[in-house]
Amino acid sequence: MNIIKLDTVDSTNNYLKKLANSEENLPNFLTVWTPNQTNGVGQYGAKWLTESYKNLTFSVLFLHKKFQLERYFLLNMLTAIVVAQTIEEMQIPSVKIKWPNDILLEKHKIGGILIENVIRGTNIEKSVIGIGLNVNQTDFSGLPKASSLQKITQKEFDIELIMKSIIRNLRKEFINLEQVQFAEVYPVYEKYLFQLNKISAFRPKEGKDFSGIIRGVLPSGELLVEIENEEIKQFALKEIQLLY
């Protein structure tokens, strides 16, 4: 495996993005890993807070052969599935994926994924797949919705081994990406989907919170929500937040 381990860095995603923009001929699945990420980036510009040396923070470069931008949500689905399955391989059951790609255990967020793409025309040329997984952190004061593998299982884990398993599983899932269809991946994603067919609370970007039943996810990544006395509505990634 090609892994660059840094003692400290602001964000493994930012580091790998810069590297990918400045150097040609980087190997596929090149990984940047640090136990001490000081300014991690989360989805929608949020910060990714992590306790140094206790958690996993790394980014993997994927070089596409030919991959249409409109299929980008497939990358999120496959990565979330890989993280969920790797956790299951560690004999930890009941992993869930909260739309679009938060990793949950017992309704608490233990992991997040941030994929940043280099786009050319209508294709994605390169993807930087950033993964943050709370592993051995036990203090989540002020973060009631967050947890870690150790906090939930009462066991300590080897962070590097988990990362290597995730990379191995990513390689398996991504190797034939060009041929992979949404329809074959979706049933697996749906199996992990948190709150599927259950009443959930949502916070729209504008307006009041509302409740509805999650009925699925479209290839575009849009969430299908059945709202009482209304038709099933679809919501884009940035339009609503699933509360619980």
Residue 59 makes contact with ligand BTN by CB under 6 A: yes
Residue 114 makes contact with ligand BTN by CB under 6 A: yes
In SS3 terms, the chain reads as CCEEECCCECCHHHHHHHHHHHCCCCCCCCEEECCCECCEECHHHCEECCCCCCCEEEEEEEECCCCEHHHCHHHHHHHHHHHHHHHHHCCCCCEEEECCCEEEECCEEEEEEEEEEEEECCEEEEEEEEEEECCCCCCCCCCCCECCHHHHHCCCCCHHHHHHHHHHHHHHHHCCHHHCCHHHHHHHHHHHECCECCEEEEEECCCCCEEEEEEEECCCCCEEEECCCCCEEEECCCCEEECC
Given candidates 41, 78, 225, 242, which one binds ligand BTN under the rule CB under 6 A?
Answer: 41
Residue 112 makes contact with ligand BTN by CB under 6 A: yes
Residue 43 makes contact with ligand BTN by CB under 6 A: yes
Residue 40 makes contact with ligand BTN by CB under 6 A: yes
Closest to ligand BTN by CB, 132 or 212: 132
Query: Which of 51-59, 86-94, 171-179, 233-241 is the region at the interface with ligand BTN (rule: CB under 6 A)?
Result: 51-59
Given candidates 76, 102, 127, 192, which one binds ligand BTN under the rule CB under 6 A?
Answer: 102
- Token pair belonging to 204: 């729209």
Query: Which of 11-19, 74-82, 181-189, 201-209 is the region at the interface with ligand BTN (rule: CB under 6 A)?
Result: 11-19
Nearest approach in angstroms of CB 17 to ligand BTN is: 10
Residue 147 makes contact with ligand BTN by CB under 6 A: no
Residue 11 makes contact with ligand BTN by CB under 6 A: yes
Nearest approach in angstroms of CB 40 to ligand BTN is: 4
Other CB atoms within 10 A of residue 23 CB:
9
In degrees and rounded to multiples of 5, residue 15 shows phi and psi of: -60, -50
Residue 97 makes contact with ligand BTN by CB under 6 A: no
Task: Please report, as residue ranges, which positions from 165 to 194 form the binding site for ligand BTN (by CB under 6 A).
Answer: none
Question: Given the rule CB under 6 A, which residues bind ligand BTN?
Answer: 11-13, 40-43, 46, 48, 57-59, 102, 112-114, 130-132
